[in-house]
Structure formats: C-alpha cells, structure tokens
Structure 1
C-alpha cells in the first residue's frame, strides 16, 4: 500500500509556535507608543549615522578645497604686493607728466604774447584777450579800417596762428567812431 494517496487527501495545516508570551503592556497606549518609537527610532539612528559618515567624508573634500583657496589667495597676494612698487612708480610718472603738460602750456602761453605784440597795430585797443593753451580769442576796437585790415592780414600771414575766424565786425557811429571786432585763432 502506498502512502501517497493518503497524503493527498489531507490538507497540511500551518502551525505557529510562539515561545515568547504576549505582554499586556504593549496593548496599552503607552506600550503602543513605545513600540512605535523603538521601531522608528532605529531608522532615525541609522539615518543620523549615515549623515555623520557623509559629513566626515565631505570634510576631506572641503578641507582640500580650503587649502587650495588659501594657497591661491596667498599667491595672488604676493603678486599684488609685487605690483605695489610698480603702481607707485606709475603714479609718480603720471604726476610728473601732468606737471610737464602744465609747464608746456604755460610756455606756450608765454610765447603767444610776443607774437601778438608783433602782429597788433598801434591803434588797436583790446577790451578782452583770452589765451588758452591751443586757442586765443580777442575782442576790441580799431580806430580805423586800415588798422583792422592790417591786424587780420597779420594774423593770416603769421606762422604762430591758424584757423583764424573773424566772428564779428561792427562799425561805430559818429559819437563812437571805429570798428569793434571779435577774432579767434588756434595756436601752435
């Protein structure tokens, strides 16, 4: 006789054996809260440990970056300090250049006076004379037309002045004879 048909007819029943008895404390609210805190607490502790390990590993990378930045700042500081003397020299040269340009302009202005005296006829009266480093302007009165013509011609043939512009010529009346004028010219 075979046992196989006999075994096929009976269903196997699942048996649970629990050797740890259930504690009635875990059925209370405090017990349930404690059981929940213990089960969730494991995950919190594991998560916290992972964060500590990650921050410990990240610290090596951040320390290396900090060291590289400090080295870079130190090298750039040395380079900037080496240019400090050069900057002082450049500023000194700039100041001397500005002084030279001012002196050159003063020399140019001083050279204009003899040239103006040479080309201005005797009976020209100047009301205003403005001398700039590269330009002069003058306004005044000529007692005769020939003196005004001579002044304009002298400006044109002079090598010290160019771009001569006669901006205004007005004839006077019987009470105030003569010609008023305004002339501008560029200087060399």
Structure 2
C-alpha cells in the first residue's frame, strides 16, 4: 500500500524578519510586554480594592475626631471656670504682693540718702531691682552701706556703677536685693 502523503498547509508563513535580531527582540518584547501589562492591571486592581479599606479608615478617623471634639466642647465650661479661678488666684496674689509694697517704702526711705535719685524701681514679691543717680561718691557709699547694714535686705547685688555722661556729675548705679518684712 502506498504511503499516505500528508500535507501541511500553513496559512501564516514564517516571516524571515523574525529571524533577524530586531525581529527576535520584538518577539521577545511582545511576550514580556503581555506579562508586564497583566502585572500592571493586577496592581491597579489591588489599588482600587485598597481604596475601600483606606476610605473606611479615613471615615473612622473623622468620626473619632468628631467625638473627641464633642468631648472637648462639653468640657469648655469647666475649662472656662477653671481659668477664671486661676486669674482670681493670680489677682489675689498680686493684691497680697501690693500690701508688701506699702510696707517696703518706709524701709527704702530709711536707707536712701539725700542725693540719690531713683530712676526706676521694680518690686516683685520679696525682690527689688532699681537704677538711680548718685550726685557724689559719698552718697553712693552711704547707700550701699545702708543696704548692707539693714537687716531687711539680703543678697545685695550692685550690678553696675558708672560715671554719668560727659558734662553731668555723679554716678549711675544699678542694684538688686531680696528683702523680708
């Protein structure tokens, strides 16, 4: 029996272009490109799906912030009353300090000699700072001695002694001290 002949009909003949380097590269890139496109589509689908999770988290966070704002607003009356009480306490402390102010002036009057003019005097609680002008060296020495000899003044600090500007006689003096009544 004679052999059967088989015929193969190829309707798409191989293009000789795909046997060249450029052809092989294009064939490879088309195959790899398919996988890249599929991978990119998977990433896009994952991003789209994660959007729902992230939206839920944002919604939960906004809800939590709103609840905390409500709690803070409900405490605002208490905070206002608390701050009012604090200012009353501070005002009372300042008034109490002012009673010390009245008592310190007779002491200052005793230790400040004639010829010393105070330009600035700051009194806070049990501490005073001042600047003044002494007309002579003797007046300045008397003032410093009186400060040191007075039992009411402690931690005396004479920060600066300098002669006045040209044409003016005397000395500028800066001092500080703690005091007790």
TM-score by length of 1: 0.48
Structure of larger gyration radius: 1
